Amino acid sequence: MAEVNLQRLQEVFEHLKESMGAGLLSADIFDKQNLVSLIGFNSNPVACALFGKIYYFINEAAQEAGFPPMNRYYLIDLKGDKAVVVVDLHENYLLGMLIDLTKVQIGVLLSVVIPRIIKDFNERVVS
């Protein structure tokens, strides 16, 4: 498993929080193997485990259906203008977020924030 630079992980995570502002209700970066959070904001260990299992289920179901695997993220639209977004950061790590859709522009999240966190995490955090 790739080693994580904890100082840089903190920096990248803080930048994510700043980018999302009040729209970020909860977030965890967790490893895919044991689904335990490395760093979190309003951390939710149960969500890490459950949404990590969903990540694996989506990929297995796609494979069985003859579809390609998940690319960068999956998004679940929730009642109350909330959403869960799980981002495939790296071969060993996921990012799970609960967001307030009244405070985050979904287009900015999908086209700017997610690509930036993937790039930053891979270039600065893992080696």
Q: pLDDT per position in the chain (127 positions), as tens?
A: 678 999 999 999 999 999 999 999 999 999 999 999 999 999 999 999 999 999 999 999 999 999 999 999 999 999 999 999 999 999 999 999 999 999 999 999 999 999 999 999 999 999 7
> 122 and 90 in contact (C-beta within 8 Å)?
yes
Predicted TM-score (pTM) of the model is: 0.95
Strand pairing report for 37-41 and 93-100: unpaired
